[in-house]
């Protein structure tokens, strides 16, 4: 005959007396009879799992998802509970279900990695702010008020507030508020400036250029900074254009070789 669940209740109204059912489960081999009894035990404890899930509402997760996570924790508790240890199932199930819900928040809800201490600050700030909204009307509680109410430093309150904003991330494809042309957050981000490479190169060659003879420095300055042609440089210095070309090539090769050797 199938095992009947007792209607006797523990101090909590949603905690049925399933001691006999658990003892029966421990003796049954795997199969349909054990599966059916296990299912009835889980169903008997589901109201308590729902109550535990309700403690975590208004934290950014839907009630239905929380109930499913709590139910998963309940199933784990039923499968792992050992009645021979002498502890009531409720004392084992409550921390198991609660731990499963907290693990869900930690592993699936935080889109940015936040240290556990900061997560705790976030929760203290959130609870304090909720309490204070009942006493301050028409405005949000200040940092100082939250700090006093939660017995925290203002620095910790600010850290908790920042963590509140880190709980979910905004997509780079999300349209910016007030934008009517589809302008997204990603469009507002900067990109690498190719001129930065030029700055790095100039800083690398500067000491080598300074070590060149004065005439070579003047030729390179006129060519690359004054944007003068080789013919004009030759005319100004009274030398041939071919000689200017050879000097520029020789100086550039020397500076390049020195910079590359120094990098190695």
Q: What is the pLDDT of residue 1?
A: 45
| pLDDT score for 245 | 92
Q: What residues form DSSP beta bridges with 6?
A: 17
Whether the CB-CB separation of 89 and 42 falls below 8 Å is answered with no
Distance, in Å, from the CA atom of 90 to the CA atom of 130, rounded to the nearest integer, reads 30
- How many other C-beta atoms can be found within 10 angstroms of the C-beta atom of residue 57? 11
- Which segments in the chain show pLDDT lower than 50? 1-4, 6-11
What integer pLDDT is reported at residue 99 of this predicted model?
Answer: 86
Residue where the block lists tokens 């081999």: 29
Q: Can you give the pLDDT at residue 263?
A: 60
pLDDT at 43: 92
pLDDT digits (tens, 9 = 90+) for 162-199: 777 665 555 566 666 665 565 666 666 666 666 666 66
Query: What pLDDT is recorded for position 9?
Result: 41
The residue with tokens 């008020």 is: 145
Distance CA(148)–CA(129), nearest Å, equals 11
Domains annotated on the chain, with CATH: 6-109 (1.10.1740.10), 116-170 (1.10.10.10), 195-263 (1.10.10.10)
pLDDT digits (tens, 9 = 90+) for 124-143: 888 888 788 777 766 788 88
Could you please report the per-residue DSSP string of 44-84? HHHHHHHHHHHTT-SSSS-HHHHHHHHHHHHHHHHHH--GG
| Single pTM value for the model | 0.42
């Amino acid at each position: 005959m199938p095992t009947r669940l007792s209607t006797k209740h523990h101090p909590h109204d949603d905690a049925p007396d399933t001691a006999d059912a658990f003892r029966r489960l421990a003796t049954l081999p795997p199969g349909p009879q054990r599966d059916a009894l296990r299912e009835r035990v889980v169903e008997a404890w589901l109201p308590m799992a729902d109550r535990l899930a309700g403690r975590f509402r208004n934290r950014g997760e839907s009630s239905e998802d929380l109930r499913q996570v709590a139910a998963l924790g309940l199933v784990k508790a039923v499968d792992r509970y050992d009645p021979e240890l002498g502890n009531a199932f409720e004392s084992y199930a409550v921390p198991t279900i609660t731990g499963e819900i907290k693990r869900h928040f930690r592993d699936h809800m935080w889109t940015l990695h936040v240290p556990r201490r900061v997560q705790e600050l976030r929760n203290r700030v959130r609870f304090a702010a909720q309490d204070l909204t009942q006493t301050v009307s028409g405005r949000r509680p200040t940092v100082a008020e939250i700090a006093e109410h939660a017995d925290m430093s203002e620095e910790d309150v600010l850290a908790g507030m920042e963590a509140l904003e880190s709980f979910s991330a905004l997509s780079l494809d999300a349209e910016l508020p007030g934008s009517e042309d589809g302008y997204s957050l990603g469009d507002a981000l900067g990109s690498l400036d190719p001129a930065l490479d030029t700055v790095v190169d100039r800083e690398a060659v500067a000491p080598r250029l300074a070590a060149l003879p004065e005439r070579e420095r003047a030729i390179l300055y006129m060519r690359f900074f004054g944007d003068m042609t080789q013919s004009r440089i030759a005319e100004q210095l009274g030398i041939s254009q071919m000689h200017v070309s050879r000097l520029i090539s020789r100086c550039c090769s020397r500076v390049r070789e020195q910079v590359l050797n120094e990098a190695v």
